[in-house]
């Protein structure tokens, strides 16, 4: 087991102790003064941003939030990353209780602060950091607290993210598979960067303590089972799971097994770095007919199959900063001049696959130009869109099972959607 924290200090911006909790008895309040003097010494050094300081056998790990320093001191060989993550969870819990974490809120609620620090860490080891669970038995009312006789089961068992006794008239699970396409095209029409960032977003309304199992068309799993994978399996990268997922089970047989939190949460995120063909391609031609008139011809083409349709498409076309009085014609949708963005925004509510549409615009420029004109801004074309029932990666949910000891039947709902992330075409 990694080394434990000796004490946790909350300091003001001048290094004075507001609250501190001693967990192991091997440091004193003087450690806060030692820490702050080392912090001042580090100012101006190239390593001054490092969140770990070592001095005379004590390791200090700290984060700053608003006008408060949160610092853990330890005499053991501890896992610094784990304790720094714990400090960020402490910030989240305090913000849940006090709206904002700052010196004044700590002074006003120091009794609750001590109670929370006692529940969140035991003998220097992090324990419970879920604000929703803590608030079930540590309650505040005008700076007073009330502690129930018995903590909820979520604190005394391994499922700290879910409360006991949840009941719903209708047991349902909603799973949205959302993929964001990031793409950058240079002025020669070459794809410089492309990737897909995906998330499995869940909303659960389930009674009791349900066990959920989710299966994907994951290449590693299907090959291990001896199934054909040609054109049906995907290679997921940078997979990150919610804490409810049993990681050992996933590593053994690629099964995503979990007891879900109540409500909305991200079950899993992933990335695919394979090159993506731009789903909506935009070409723009600009002709200057005179010093005072510019004509723009834009073609937008959907490069996905006809059975899919992009919705809420927005194409932001940069125009000269001194342009005015635009005349615009489109073959589909509507376009409006947005002078605050120095852009023409072309909106298409429904853009079917394998279609091409056009926009023509004419702008007037001031007839008098400066002798030393500034270089024309080379802003990119930016595109936004959503494509329901479609994923770039080809990810598929093969099954979603809900098992609960009472035996109720849950209704799972699965949706797929692809949207534009950072989607830029530098074609002008």
pLDDT at 375 over 60: no
Domain spans in the chain, listed from the N-terminal domain onward: 7-156, 172-276+392-425, 280-388
Into which CATH architecture does domain 172-276+392-425 fall? Sandwich (2.60)
251-255 contacts at long range (C-beta below 8 A, 24 or more positions apart): 253/221, 253/224, 254/218, 254/220, 254/221, 254/224, 255/213, 255/215
Domain 280-388 classified CATH 2.40.50.840? no
Q: Using CA atoms, how far apart are residues 68 and 165, in angstroms rounded to an integer?
A: 38
The answer to whether the beta carbons of residues 301 and 265 sit under 8 Å apart is: no
Summarize pLDDT for 347-373 with one digit per residue, the tens: 999 999 999 999 999 988 776 555 444
Which pTM was predicted? 0.64
Beta strands in 107-230 (DSSP E): 121-122, 125-126, 138-141, 144-147, 172-185, 191-205, 211-216
Beta bridge partners of 120: none
> What are the backbone angles phi and psi of residue 248, rounded to the nearest 5°?
-60, -40
Q: Using CA atoms, how far apart are residues 173 and 414, in angstroms rounded to an integer?
A: 8
One fold for 172-276+392-425 and 280-388: yes
Domain 7-156 classified CATH 3.40.1260.20? no
Give me the mean pLDDT over the 284-302 stretch. 86
Summarize pLDDT for 158-196 with one digit per residue, the tens: 577 888 888 999 999 999 999 999 999 988 888 999 999
pLDDT, residue 110, reads: 80
Q: Which has the minimum average pLDDT: 45-59, 220-234, 245-259? A: 220-234
Q: What is the dihedral of CA 40, 46, 48, 51, to 10 degrees?
A: -150
pLDDT, residue 220, reads: 56
């Amino acid at each position: 087991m990694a080394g434990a924290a000796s004490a946790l200090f909350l300091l003001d911006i001048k290094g004075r102790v507001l609250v501190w909790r001693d967990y192991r008895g091997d440091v004193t309040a003087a450690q806060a003064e030692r820490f702050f003097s080392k912090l001042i010494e580090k100012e101006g050094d190239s390593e001054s941003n490092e969140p770990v300081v070592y001095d005379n056998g004590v390791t200090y790990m700290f984060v700053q939030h608003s006008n408060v320093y949160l610092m853990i001191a330890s005499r053991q060989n501890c896992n610094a990353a784990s304790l720094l993550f714990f400090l960020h969870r402490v910030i989240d819990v305090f913000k849940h209780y006090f709206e904002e974490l700052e010196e004044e809120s700590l002074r006003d609620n120091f009794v609750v602060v001590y109670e929370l620090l006692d529940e969140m860490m035991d003998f220097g080891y992090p324990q419970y950091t879920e604000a929703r669970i803590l608030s079930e038995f540590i309650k505040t009312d005008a700076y007073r607290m009330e502690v129930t006789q018995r903590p909820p089961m979520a604190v005394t068992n391994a499922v700290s993210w879910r409360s006991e006794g949840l009941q719903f008239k209708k047991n349902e699970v909603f799973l949205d598979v959302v993929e964001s396409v990031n793409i950058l095209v240079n002025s020669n029409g070459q794809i410089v960067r492309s990737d897909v960032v995906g998330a499995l977003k869940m909303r659960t309304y389930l009674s009791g303590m349900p066990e959920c199992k989710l299966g994907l068309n994951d290449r590693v799993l299907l090959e291990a089972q001896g199934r054909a994978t040609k054109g049906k399996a995907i290679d997921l990268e940078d997979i990150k799971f919610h804490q409810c997922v049993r990681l050992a089970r996933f590593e053994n047989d690629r099964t995503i097994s979990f007891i879900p939190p109540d409500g909305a949460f991200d079950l899993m995120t992933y990335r695919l770095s394979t090159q993506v063909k731009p789903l909506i391609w935009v070409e723009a031609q600009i002709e200057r007919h005179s010093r005072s008139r510019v004509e723009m011809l834009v073609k937008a083409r959907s490069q996905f199959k006809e059975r899919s349709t992009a919705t809420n498409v927005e194409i932001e076309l940069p125009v000269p900063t001194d342009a005015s009085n635009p005349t615009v014609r489109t073959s589909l949708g509507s376009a409006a001049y947005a002078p605050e963005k120095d852009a023409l925004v072309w909106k298409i509510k429904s853009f079917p696959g394998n279609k091409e549409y056009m926009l023509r615009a004419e702008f007037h420029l001031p007839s008098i130009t400066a002798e030393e004109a500034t270089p024309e801004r080379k802003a990119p074309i930016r595109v936004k869109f959503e494509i329901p029932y479609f994923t770039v990666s080809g990810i598929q949910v093969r099954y979603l099972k809900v098992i609960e000891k009472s035996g109720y039947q849950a209704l799972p709902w699965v949706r797929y959607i692809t949207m534009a992330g950072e989607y830029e075409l530098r074609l002008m």
